[in-house]
Amino acid sequence: MKLRFTKMHGIGNDFVVIDCRAQPLALSAAQIARLGDRHFGIGFDQLLTIEKPTDAACAFGYGIWNSDGTKAGQCGNGVRCVAAWLRRAGALGAGTTRLHSPSGPVTVELLDDGDVRVDMGVPRFAPVDVPLDLPAADPYRLRVADSDIEFGAVSMGNPHALVEVANVATAPLDSLGAALSTHACFPEACNVGFAQIVDRARIRLRVWERGAGATLACGSGACAAVAVLRRRGKLDPGVAVELPGGTLQIQWQGEGAPVWMRCPAQFVFEGDIEA
């Protein structure tokens, strides 16, 4: 079966986008994982499908699959790519619209300068919402991979753990990030961020994504980092989040308010592949 795809990225967080408005995606988890392989397939952090909406209040829907074939609930860089793809296809114009993600409706704003602004929703900190099988605390304390660690936890439509570090360049992403991501206290696994505060308006961040591993950027991870650290009183409402692939602009006014994220989305190439 031949599939037409578009390769895109949001500050290095890369995607394959497939138009499924006419018919649903007919790929197994194993087939998606094969396409996601960077040596034997196309290579991507996530696969995104453009779909008809299941919510009448939304213009379109989209699906998200990690590179190992597992489903994801939200992807901040991904929704910007979905919106940019729809704009280029002539399906969306400038301004605000609603898209339906696997975790619910998302408001996106297509700006005149090419950037996409996304309402990532209200952060949810209750353990049952993350989900996290620990009593509510901030920070949480846990022994992981022979280390005693402290972390914050939040849901941004997908589960996140956030570890504050003095130097993000030396953070144990591959060891501690991977171990905490699959720890039994996170029944659905989680994305793990390591954040270094530069000042009240700027942080540096690296993220280990569940189902994908270390990535150059993670939009929901940037929102989660700002939410956890601002809730602790360490950040201002507007924060530049510097990731290995580039910088995201995050705005959060505080408890009960949605997190807004702004950045461009980039087209890379298009093609057909045998699935």
Nearest to 9 by CA among 224, 216, 249: 216
The angle, 0 to 180 degrees and rounded to 10, between the axes of the packed helices 76-88 and 219-231 is 130
Give me the DSSP letters along 89-117.
TTS--SEEEEEEETTEEEEEEE-TTS-EE
The sign of the torsion formed by the CA atoms of 106, 135, 192, 17 equals negative
Backbone angles phi, psi at 44, to 5 degrees: -165, 160
Residue 190 bears catalytic tag: no
Catalytic residue among 58, 81, 190, 218: 218
Tokens, residue 221: 């991870």
Is 218 among the residues known to form the active site? yes
Which residue out of 58, 75, 81, 223 is catalytically annotated?
Answer: 75
Q: How many other CB atoms sit within 10 Å of the CB of residue 251?
A: 17
Structure tokens, 8: 């895109």
34 sits in which H/E element: helix 29-36
Is 4 within 8 Å of 263 (Cβ atoms)? no
Among 198, 244, 207, 246, which Cα is nearest to 225's?
207
Among 191, 253, 188, residue whose Cα is nearest residue 225: 191
Question: What is the rounded CA–CA span in Å between residue 133 and residue 129?
Answer: 10
How far CA 269 is from CA of 4, 16, 42, 190, 210, in Å, comes to 11, 10, 11, 30, 26
Which residues carry out catalysis? 75, 218
